Structure 1
Amino acid sequence: MARHEDTYDDRYGTEFLQRPAPDDRLPRQGMPAVDAMRLLGEELVLDGIPMRNLATFVTTWMEPEAQRVIAENLHRNYIDHAEYPQTALIEQRCIRMLADLFHAPGPTTGTRTQGSSEAIMLGALSLKWKWRQRREAARQSTDRPNLVFGGDVHVVWEKFCRYFDVEPRIIPLRPDRLTIGPDDVEPHVDENTIGVAAVLGTTFTGHADDIAGINDLLVRLRDERGLDVPLHVDGASGGFVWPFLYPDTKWDFRLEQVRSINVSGHKYGLVYPGIGWLVFRTTDDLAEDLVFYENYLGKRDATFTLNFSTNASMVLAQYYNLVRYGHAGYQAIMRTMQANAAELAERIVAAGDFELVGEPGAEQLPLVAFRLAGEHAYDEFDVAGQLAGEHGWMLPAYSLPPNAQDVTVLRALVKQTLSRSLADTLADDLAHACTTLDAKGGLHERERRRVKSGTGY
């Protein structure tokens, strides 16, 4: 094939701007590296700005030194313990540090995961396997396992039940009660219950289930009825918050029925996605049947994950954060976020358009959950749309789970990147969005009228 003649597009790297992005098939020929990089940049400019994303719990900023650690270890395969023994050692250091932070009573075990979803799947599988062992030892049926949790959990809990044939016993929420406690749990527990899951920091309002109360209930059921039902704490968001903001609150292994805890390193653990952790109270709480021993690349290893090959960079980034910040550093960061969340909440309420959602004064993640107060010609979804279109903030609006689905909430995550100055700006922008909507009505008023008149979809 003859070489095509030199053009200005070739010379200055702009030819890709005149073509549609490759879509449904591999292009016959490639393009210069700088063009490929610029093509991606042009595509991604349509995404939201992560620093303005108040919806995600996931970390959107790390220090330059941490970014360097990540970049220099993306090629290192976490699972190859024979080739990268120090990486495996660092993973175990992280697990021991977390076990100590969660007050494990002695030597224990755990694993790194892609995130809390994988950690929850593994933790719940261990609950099922341990329940089955107990039932088989007692020569009782193992064909009807159930798992008890509230409507305030992440969808992964329902996924586990569907994928692994466990009956979900979901406790509905109420408009005046957006977490669960022992009185809610007790009617659902029986001899087929593999465990109870409680949430430390819900994604809906940031509050915690009454974990201590549920633990006391399970202790009583064990002592009075012989039902030894373990408690798993879903600390995906709260596991890196409560130890530093509410250190005297007992939610972890200080409670005797808490057998396992998951936490997301890529949320308030301050690491980019994806990294999660699963920690057991003792080594006996991990069902041995779930551990596989394999001789791979010259070393016999135990593996306890749903995934296999992945880069080691986020494990190393987690260790970087743990040694970089230490207890005092994490506490200072959490207190800063908490203070900015309190200031933002005060400003939002003072403007007069909104009221906070959830129990006033309760322990909470650094976030603000709020809804419109009084009558308005628009709703929370309109506010979110106006705020995004006019000011670029990504503020989620959503309805709560059954039986609180009539409550619609706006939620602002307050993370390291939301400074006091930006929190003040957000409060001002919210007030301005409401002023604009007061003048023009809701963004979706035509659709709302059609639905109310019965002529909607």
Structure 2
Amino acid sequence: MSTLDQRDAETLFGNRFLTDRAPATSFPQSGMRPTDAFRLVAEDLALEGDPQRNLATFVTTWMEPEAQRIIAENLHRNFIDHAEYPISAEIEQRCVRMLADLFHAPGPTTGCRTQGSSEAIMLGALSLKWKWKERRQAAHLSTDRPNLVFGGDVHVVWEKFCRYFDVEPRIIPLAKDKYTIGPEDVEPHLDENTIGVAAVLGTTFTGHMDDIVGINDLLLDIRSRRDLDIPLHVDGASGGFVWPFLYPDSPWDFRLEQVRSINVSGHKYGLVYPGIGWLVFREEADLAEDLVFYENYLGKLDATFTLNFSTGAAMVLAQYYNFVRLGRDGYTYVMKQMQQNAGALAANLRDTGLFEVIGGDAEQLPLVAFRLAGEHQSYDESDIAWQLSAERGWMVPAYTLPPNAEHVKIMRALVKETMSREQVERLTRDIVDACATLDTKGGTAHVERETTKKGTGY
């Protein structure tokens, strides 16, 4: 009989956490071998979804090996240490200048990297508020009760900004078959306390854009007729790296006079792993000077305009890698192949006769938004999403739209750079098979309806 004790056996043959519980509630008293720590984390993560089948997230799930090497070799660099890492700081500004060029800035401007579009939106909206205060104070007018106008198609971060920074949100509701906003929706909400209007380029819900041209024209008219200079911020979190390459002649950016700032997520269609975002101003004067801090903390006088301080330089460097690796031609190629596969998936879903594709003929992100066609009493889109995940591991979200379109439930499939035509065909077959299964066994939708009919639900 072996005389090996348990710890010796683990060292020779296995992993102690095959039988021991993982540390979870209290700080562990002792450590463990690197191999054990690696296996512990890896085995937990093995239970997560496969990023290659995650069609729910806009966030990048694949980068080239060379880009991954740049990231891995620079994880130890703290981006904020400009005195110690001046090249990283210079590369950030190269990226800002390239984005300003991509977005047709009329001249020298400014901007910064952020942790993602959420931070960029907070910073951009703060500048809108401060610039409004400057205008009001110069005219000896009250700075009480600022408001911000945006549609129900925005990301929740816009509501967060309003709550965190004491700004009244004037949210324009959506409606069935109207999932974006235009000038006729915006105008009733504007007054002398409006710090700005936010318009979305590529909504989270259906991938379309607000009528940015129409809203810009309205704001120019308001400026002329009512002497109110209300700026326009474009939330290009998803679309800022799509429209310049798929729809280069479609004006939405600094070609429009009232567009004063733009945010974009590098970790979405900028094709970089999370988290990296960007904020770019039309010109330097659009950044409120009171929001810029000058500090001599690390051996060099630096100007800082971010909500975060310490953060890794790796994703900034990875973004620059993509810019120089792909250029305009490369980004155009990637976006067009994603668009082609999205078109193929949309056509496949229409051809099944089971689904209605939403807005496939309009300018749109490389995605497919769809819903069941006709009446289905035994199951709904949420049941299909669950069945797809349970049977095939596809992550395709189902959700209701914002007020006043919350009675509309849709599904949305993001078509990523790594999604091949064969995978498009396989996904189509899996969706059809999921519906066939639900036709036989039913879903939860009919149960919810019956519960509501009996009056036992909320």
Q: Which TM-score bucket, shorter chain as reference? A: over 0.9
Indicate whether 1:306 and 2:291 are aligned.
Answer: no
Cα offsets for 1:273-293 (capped at 9, x unmatched): 000000000000000000000
Q: Which residue of structure 1 lines up, in the alignment, with residue 328 of structure 2?
A: 327
One-letter code aligned to 2:135: R
Aligned to 1:88: 89
1:13 and 1:34 in contact (8 A); partners too: no
Provide the residue aligned with 1:395 in structure 2: 396
Q: Residue type of the partner of 1:125?
A: L
Shift of 1:449: 2.7
Matches within 5 A, 1:46-65: 46-65=47-66
Deviation at 1:46, TM superposition (A): 1.5
- Determine the C-alpha separation between the residues in 2 that align with 1:253 and 1:83: 34
> Sequence identity of aligned pairs in percent?
72
Please tell me whether the aligned partners of residues 145 and 167 of structure 1 are also in contact (alpha carbons under 8 angstroms).
yes
| Partner in structure 1 of residue 100 of structure 2 | 99
Provide the C-alpha distance between the structure 1 equivalents of 2:304 and 2:12, rounded to a whole number of angstroms: 52
Q: Distance in 1 between matches of 2:177 and 2:333?
A: 33
Deviation at 1:455, TM superposition (A): 3.0
Aligned equivalent of 1:275: 276
Residue-by-residue CA offset, 1:312-353 (whole Å, 9 max, x unaligned) = 000000000000001000000000000000000000111111
Flag the 1:217–1:456 CA change in 2: closer, same or farther, 3 A: closer
What is the CA-CA distance between 1:447 and the residue it aligns to? 4.6
Deviation of 1:56 after TM superposition, in Å, equals 0.2
- When residues 139 and 14 of structure 1 are mapped into structure 2, their CA distance, relative to the original with a 3 A threshold, is same
Instruction: Please give the alpha-carbon distance, in whole angstroms, between the structure 1 residues aligned to 2:216 and 2:445.
Output: 46
Structure 2 contact 295–302 (Cα < 8 Å) conserved: yes
What is the DSSP-based 3-state SS (H/G/I as helix, E as strand, rest coil) of the residue aligned with 1:194? strand
CA contact (8 A) 2:199 2:232 kept: yes
Given that 2:272 and 2:318 are in contact with CA atoms closer than 8 Å, whether structure 1 keeps it comes out as yes
Q: CA deviation at 1:12?
A: 2.4
Partner of 2:433: 432
Assess if the C-alpha contact under 8 Å between 1:146 and 1:166 holds in 2. Answer: yes
**Equivalent position amino acid for 2:91 in 1:** I
Q: Which amino acid aligns with 2:349?
A: I
Partners in 1 of 2:450 and 2:55 — Cα distance?
Answer: 30
Once the two structures are TM-superposed, the CA of residue 451 in structure 1 deviates from its matched residue by 3.4
Gaps of 5+ in 1: none
Counterpart Cα distance in 1 of 2:333 and 2:358: 26
Distance 1:374 1:444, change over 3 A: closer
Q: Quick check: 1:367 aligned with 2:364?
A: no
2:134 corresponding residue in structure 1? 133
In 2, the alpha carbon distance for the partners of 1:252 and 1:317 equals 24
Count of matched residue positions in the alignment of Structure 1 and Structure 2: 454
CA distance in 2, matches of 1:171, 1:164: 20
What is the deviation of 1:6?
A: 5.6
Q: Which residue of 1 aligns with 2:153?
A: 152
Distance apart, 1:375 and its partner CA: 1.6
CA distance in 2, matches of 1:452, 1:322: 56
1:366 alignment partner AA: P
Q: C-alpha displacement at 1:443, in angstroms?
A: 4.2
2:27 maps to amino acid: L
Matched to 1:149, the amino acid is: F
Distance, in Å, in 1 between the alignment partners of 2:327 and 2:279 is: 20
Distance 1:6 1:48 in 2: 33
1:243 aligns with 2:244: yes
What TM-score comes out, normalization by structure 1 length?
A: 0.98
SS of residue matched to 1:426: helix
CA distance in 2, matches of 1:159, 1:15: 44
**In structure 2, what is the Cα distance between the partners aligned to 1:151 and 1:42?**
40
**Alpha carbon RMSD of aligned pairs, Å?**
1.3
Amino acid at match of 1:372: L
1:142-187 deviation digits (Å, cap 9, x = unpaired): 0110000000000000000000000000000010210000000000
User: Cα–Cα, structure 1 residues 7 and 134, in superposed 2: closer, same or farther, change >3 Å?
Assistant: same
Query: Do the aligned partners of residues 208 and 6 (structure 1) sit closer, same or farther apart at CA in structure 2, a change above 3 Å counting?
Result: closer
User: Post-superposition shift, 1:4?
Assistant: 7.3
The answer to whether residue 228 in structure 2 is matched with residue 222 in structure 1 is: no
Instruction: Give how far 1:30 is off.
Output: 1.0
Whether the 8 Å contact between 1:218 and 1:257 is mirrored in structure 2 is yes
Tell me: CA distance 1:6–1:122, structure 2 relative to 1, closer, same or farther (3 Å): closer
* 1:33 matched residue in structure 2: 34
Q: Find the counterpart in structure 1 of residue 23 from structure 2.
A: 22
Contact 2:398 2:409 in 1 (8 A): yes
Deviations 1:368-398 (A, max 9, x none): 0000001212100001011111111000000
Moved over 3 A (4+): 3-6, 443-448
Q: How far apart in 2 are the matches of 1:188 and 1:216?
A: 16
Aligned residue type for 2:433: H
The whole-number CA distance in structure 1 between the counterparts of 2:296 and 2:228 is 39
What's the counterpart of residue 231 of structure 1? 232
Secondary structure of 2:433's match?
helix
Which residue of the partner structure matches residue 265 of structure 2?
Answer: 264
Matched, 1:284 2:271: no
More displaced stretch, 44-53 vs 436-445: 436-445
Give distance in 1, aligned partners of 2:43 and 2:454. 43
Alignment-mate amino acid for residue 333 of structure 2: A
**Residue number in structure 1 paired with 2:173:** 172
Query: Which moves more between the two structures, 370-379 or 130-139?
Result: 370-379
Q: What residue identity is the alignment partner of 1:252?
A: D
When structure 1 is superposed on structure 2, of 244-253 and 27-36 the one drifting more is 27-36
